[in-house]
Amino acid sequence: MNQNFRISSANNSPLINRDKTMSFHFNGQIFKGHPGDTLASALLANGQKLVARSFKYHRPRGIFSAGSEEPNALMCLRKGAYQEPNVRATVAELFDGLEAFSQNHLGSLKHDLMAVNDLFSNFLTAGFYYKTFMWPKAFWEKFYEPIIRSSAGLGELSGDEDPDQYDKGFLHCDVLIIGAGPAGLAAALASAQAGSRVILADEDFEMGGRINSETFHIAKMHGSDWVKSTLAQLSSMQNVRLLKRTTVLGAYDHGIYSALERKTDHLTSSGNKPRQILWRIYSKRAILSAGATERPIAFANNDRPGIMLAGAVRSYANRWDVAAGQNVSIFTNNDDGWRTASDLVAKGVQVKTVVDTREIKPIADIPGAAIEMGAQVVDTQGRHALKSIQLSNGKQIRTDCLAVSGGWNPNVQLSCHHRGRPVWQEELLAFVAGGELPPGMIVAGAANGKLDLSSALSSGHNAARSISDELGHKGKIEACAIAEGESTNNSAFWFVKDKGKTKRSWLDFQNDVTTKDVRLAQQEGFVSVEHVKRYTTLGMATDQGKTCNVSAMAVMAENLGKTIPEIGTTIFRPPYTPVSIAAYAGRSRGKSFRPARLTPSHQWAKKAGAEFVETGTWLRAQWFTKEGENHWQESVNREVTQTRNSVGICDVSTLGKIDIQGKDAGEFLNRIYCNTLATLKVNMVRYGLMLREDGIAMDDGTTARLSDNHYLMTTTTANAVSVFRHLEFCRQCLWPDLDVHFISATEQFAQYAVAGPNSRKLLQKIVDPEFDISNEAFPFMGCRNITVAGGTPARLFRISFSGELAYEIAVATRYGNSLMEALIEAGEEFDVTSYGTEALGVMRIEKGHAAGNELTGQTTALNLGMGRMVSKKKDSIGNMLSERTAMNTDDSIRLVGFIPVDRTKVLNAGSHFVSKGRSVETKNDEGWMSSVTFSPSLNHSVGIGFIKNGHNRMGEIVLACNPLQGNLLEVEIVSSHFIDPKGERLRA
């Protein structure tokens, strides 16, 4: 295609680089453009009018605007994994080789088979879904939903993983200036001169805002020259950061703003740089100078390709040297529309007619154009592109582009993100920022209703001055640049009344909402603006109704005989423009979704054939596959058997370790644990149970007393962080007078359980000979500071989770991997095994130890069979509320063991217990199975769980019901200590 619509004149735009031509594809066809083009301006330059199909009726649509407010021209860019749907062509920067595709059509763009929807438009009105898909009920899942799903949405994702990177970052400044139009630039210059740290952000790739689209002079130079020199000045200043291609998305608490910078979207390839960066900007003050958005006038068939916003038609002519049509007509209710006419003529574009709704004398002489005052456009013709328009005075005019101006709406969105409502200004016929602004924000320029250039400049400048005063930044601010003023007279004309009420006038182009839909919604009782919005989906498309909201309110007001401010606005929420999920995810994808913590001997475990499991953020060895083992159960059974018969080693470094010191450490622990810790002797270890204040068990573990004022607490892996937080709460908020301090030592020590009848013999080979670890010198629940392997400091604890003679040995983290190697080597003669979390779990169930499955946040010390541990002689967290009557009834649930009556059957965790002879119903529920395992030691399935009054029901047969898996099993209540109930092995 040739750029037949590119205008060449004496005053070519400086923002288009004609020395370089780029080619791009649209629906497979090759087009040409220049650096400086957007996809939209390049398409128009090539005469491409039809670019999209509307959402509901599949109406042919063309480019409507020249900015981020675009409702129509949504496209799919790039191919394959890089494919990105719903990109607004009006903000997509052109690059060489860009591939763009139109979306939302079946068949070609020109001959969309779904356009049949338009014929049924009488049925597809407001509330269509609510009314149609109600019945029959059975149709929903199989019929309606699949159809709706396949027709919902516009563009499609590729389904492949996005290969690009996205990043997040933090920025700090004194003044954040949102929008680099006249007000923003004037504000940035003044703030920077005052000495403030300034961030100036603008969504465009070319700063300057509307100045780039106009022909005004500022400070006696052409507007775009003034922008250039101002930007040069700003970028030479150390205290200024210019962020172009950056949309400020939302205003959050305490001066925090989010912004999306499109870093490499405009390049053929991102080249390993982030595609987009989501910034969090911390500001002391903010100036919202986001400009204004033009609104159209609604009239019958106002959605044809070629009908555009007048300001956009002017932008395409002035900034991009593109004529939106060969003979353009203007439809306006204000003076600004006339400027489009005169600017087009200046560029050599033929203006056919100017239609002004006002009964005043013409504003200007437009050479070659017919002037129709007090007239309206009542209908249009042309299926795939505008061909002609019809006026209220009966004239029919052949024209290929209609530039519509209904006035300008200040971009107040960000000023409302703290739920402040904009206020109506009758003289402007628009809402401006008002009410409660986000603290620290000033609104300036067109965003604040200063629609003419001269007052936009000065309002930005003055906003910066007052902020500099507040912040005490005293640098010399130069006088504000002067510009000529222009006329912005406006009139209240919102939509052309359709006398027959048969034709459709579009309000929301993207969601296909017409004035009729709004009327219908109100007739059906949806009167509130929030209800109309949700019922008709007006303003709920990806453009959030930027071009249509205010006009729609005018329609509602008219229908109800109210004024626009009486109708009220809906609430603006972030983000200002759509943001891809990838940007919000940033680097938190795949393996980086959250950190993985590796234990000190992770490398050893990997070499030894470990399968790893995520426990919280830790990766722990679950089991070790040896040669010839084909199923995890085989490996786990072997690990358990070898440990119980001889010796096994398990990495328990992930347990939380908290080092507690101070002369009140014992007293502190007494108050933390429900049992007594202060009486613990030095070099001994005690089990402790921690309750929450409500009397429910919170965590358990062993605590060692290393010296008079020095304890080492262990917590479960899962609760390490929350227990530490709890301890700090108790120390700082409850008992600040206690002399106690602590620090987490979880990552400072590697710790290994050495369990089994040969564990002492193995350790004796490692522990330096001066330390006697015989049963007499180092009894059960003893602990010592020792050295191993010829002088390496270590701590040895004689504690057991497996029920065997067992120890835990800790060394500094950096020795963990070597210690593991040394232990395995020393154990060779005993046929030592390493074991993982599965075997650990099997052995603790066989021993009847409670763990996470039992400490569920629902169980008390009494339930766990540890009721007598709660010392009544001292204060401790949870002590008092564990006394509550309801938690101490005779039929409270108790932790006991269960075995299947038929030993060949397998128990299910989560089964509920019902007494024999009772029906399987919730009302007969007596408790649940919390942990089950196949016991290699007993050669059948065993479980532990809670059942009412369990400790008094030994030997009783009950039913374990698992309705989910449809099985019902007879089980016998037994002691939860399946192995060595007297604890002889521990003390051996």
Binding mask 414-433 for another protein (x = CB under 8 A): ----x---------------
- From the list 131, 606, 814, 884, which residue makes contact with another protein (rule: CB under 8 A)? 884
- From the list 225, 611, 659, 694, which residue makes contact with another protein (rule: CB under 8 A)? 694
Region from 146-154, 249-257, 698-706, 907-915 binding another protein, contact rule CB under 8 A: 249-257
Spatial separation of the C-alpha atoms in residues 672 and 729, rounded to whole Å? 11
Is position 886 an interface residue for another protein (rule: CB under 8 A)? no
- From the list 439, 475, 779, 793, which residue makes contact with another protein (rule: CB under 8 A)? 439
Spatial separation of the C-alpha atoms in residues 153 and 727, rounded to whole Å? 51
Helix (H, G, I), strand (E, B) or coil at 845: helix
Contact present, 190 and 198 (Cβ < 8 Å): no
> In this complex, which beta carbon is closest to another protein, that of residue 499 or of residue 873?
873
Number of other residues whose CB lies within 10 A of the CB of residue 873: 8
Region from 252-260, 342-350, 850-858, 891-899 binding another protein, contact rule CB under 8 A: 252-260
Region from 699-707, 794-802, 868-876, 937-945 binding another protein, contact rule CB under 8 A: 868-876
> In this complex, which beta carbon is closest to another protein, that of residue 520 or of residue 738?
738
> In this complex, which beta carbon is closest to another protein, that of residue 630 or of residue 732?
732
Spatial separation of the C-alpha atoms in residues 352 and 397, rounded to whole Å? 8
Q: Determine whether 232 is exposed, middle or buried from the number of CB atoms within 10 Å of its CB (0-12, 13-18, 19+).
A: exposed
- Asked, as a colleague might, if the bond just before 182 is cis with ω within 30 of 0, I would say no
> In this complex, which beta carbon is closest to another protein, that of residue 402 or of residue 665?
665
> In this complex, which beta carbon is closest to another protein, that of residue 628 or of residue 736?
736
In the window 792-831, what residues touch another protein (CB under 8 A)?
none
The CB-of-176 to another protein minimum distance in angstroms stands at 15
Is position 282 an interface residue for another protein (rule: CB under 8 A)? yes
**Rama region for 55: left / alpha / beta (φ>0; ψ in -120 to 50; rest):** alpha
Q: Which helix (H) or strand (E) holds 680?
A: none
Contact present, 451 and 427 (Cβ < 8 Å): no
In the window 143-182, what residues touch another protein (CB under 8 A)?
none
Spatial separation of the C-alpha atoms in residues 192 and 231, rounded to whole Å? 12
> In this complex, which beta carbon is closest to another protein, that of residue 280 or of residue 761?
280
The CB-of-6 to another protein minimum distance in angstroms stands at 49
Place of tokens 């860019």: 77
Spatial separation of the C-alpha atoms in residues 88 and 251, rounded to whole Å? 23
Spatial separation of the C-alpha atoms in residues 526 and 276, rounded to whole Å? 41
Region from 90-98, 251-259, 446-454, 476-484 binding another protein, contact rule CB under 8 A: 251-259
Spatial separation of the C-alpha atoms in residues 855 and 877, rounded to whole Å? 16
Binding mask 610-649 for another protein (x = CB under 8 A): ----------------------------------------
The CB-of-156 to another protein minimum distance in angstroms stands at 35
The CB-of-853 to another protein minimum distance in angstroms stands at 26
Spatial separation of the C-alpha atoms in residues 943 and 933, rounded to whole Å? 6
Nearest CA-CA partner of 795 in 870, 707, 864: 707
DSSP state letter for 746: G
Amino acid at 87: V
Binding mask 718-747 for another protein (x = CB under 8 A): ---x---x--xx-xxxx-xx----------
Spatial separation of the C-alpha atoms in residues 751 and 762, rounded to whole Å? 16
- From the list 875, 891, 902, 970, which residue makes contact with another protein (rule: CB under 8 A)? 875
Beta strands in 289-391 (DSSP E): 292-294, 307-309, 327-332, 350-356, 370-373, 377-381, 388-391
The CB-of-254 to another protein minimum distance in angstroms stands at 4
> In this complex, which beta carbon is closest to another protein, that of residue 666 or of residue 836?
666
Spatial separation of the C-alpha atoms in residues 259 and 278, rounded to whole Å? 6
CA dihedral 307, 312, 317, 322 (to 10 degrees): -60
Is position 883 an interface residue for another protein (rule: CB under 8 A)? yes
Size of the site for another protein (CB under 8 A): 27
Q: Which residues contact 151 (CB under 8 A, 6 or more apart)?
A: 114
Strand-pair category, 648-651 with 833-834: parallel
The CB-of-436 to another protein minimum distance in angstroms stands at 9
Place of tokens 């009105």: 125
Contact present, 577 and 71 (Cβ < 8 Å): no
Backbone φ and ψ for 465, nearest 5 degrees, come out as: -60, -45
- From the list 20, 254, 663, 814, which residue makes contact with another protein (rule: CB under 8 A)? 254
- From the list 147, 571, 880, 938, which residue makes contact with another protein (rule: CB under 8 A)? 880
In the window 514-573, what residues touch another protein (CB under 8 A)?
none
Beta strands in 708-791 (DSSP E): 710-715, 741-744, 749-755, 783-788
Q: Take residue 270 and report the two structure tokens written for it.
A: 């991102």
Number of other residues whose CB lies within 10 A of the CB of residue 433: 25
In the window 389-418, what residues touch another protein (CB under 8 A)?
418
The CB-of-417 to another protein minimum distance in angstroms stands at 12
Q: Take residue 551 and report the two structure tokens written for it.
A: 């006009």
- From the list 62, 71, 209, 255, which residue makes contact with another protein (rule: CB under 8 A)? 255
- From the list 142, 873, 916, 923, which residue makes contact with another protein (rule: CB under 8 A)? 873
> In this complex, which beta carbon is closest to another protein, that of residue 175 or of residue 385?
175
> In this complex, which beta carbon is closest to another protein, that of residue 560 or of residue 880?
880
The CB-of-435 to another protein minimum distance in angstroms stands at 13
Region from 214-222, 356-364, 502-510, 867-875 binding another protein, contact rule CB under 8 A: 867-875
> In this complex, which beta carbon is closest to another protein, that of residue 360 or of residue 880?
880
Spatial separation of the C-alpha atoms in residues 210 and 208, rounded to whole Å? 6
Region from 51-59, 202-210, 710-718, 870-878 binding another protein, contact rule CB under 8 A: 870-878
> In this complex, which beta carbon is closest to another protein, that of residue 368 or of residue 736?
736
> In this complex, which beta carbon is closest to another protein, that of residue 806 or of residue 861?
861
Region from 195-203, 253-261, 484-492, 639-647 binding another protein, contact rule CB under 8 A: 253-261
Q: Take residue 561 and report the two structure tokens written for it.
A: 């005989």
> In this complex, which beta carbon is closest to another protein, that of residue 584 or of residue 780?
584
Region from 121-129, 822-830, 879-887, 935-943 binding another protein, contact rule CB under 8 A: 879-887
The CB-of-469 to another protein minimum distance in angstroms stands at 22
Angle at the Cα of 267 (from 261 to 273), degrees rounded to 5? 60
The CB-of-35 to another protein minimum distance in angstroms stands at 40
Is position 184 an interface residue for another protein (rule: CB under 8 A)? no
Region from 143-151, 522-530, 627-635, 869-877 binding another protein, contact rule CB under 8 A: 869-877
Spatial separation of the C-alpha atoms in residues 475 and 467, rounded to whole Å? 12
Region from 61-69, 184-192, 254-262, 266-274 binding another protein, contact rule CB under 8 A: 254-262
Number of other residues whose CB lies within 10 A of the CB of residue 676: 17
Q: Which residues contact 416 (CB under 8 A, 6 or more apart)?
A: 422, 433, 569, 571, 572
**Alpha carbon distances (Å) from 758 to 73, 646, 649, 820, 833:** 76, 5, 11, 17, 12
Spatial separation of the C-alpha atoms in residues 708 and 280, rounded to whole Å? 49
The CB-of-433 to another protein minimum distance in angstroms stands at 18
Is position 253 an interface residue for another protein (rule: CB under 8 A)? yes
User: Rule CB under 8 A: which residues touch another protein?
Assistant: 253-256, 282, 418, 439, 693-694, 721, 725, 728-729, 731-734, 736-737, 872-875, 880-881, 883-884
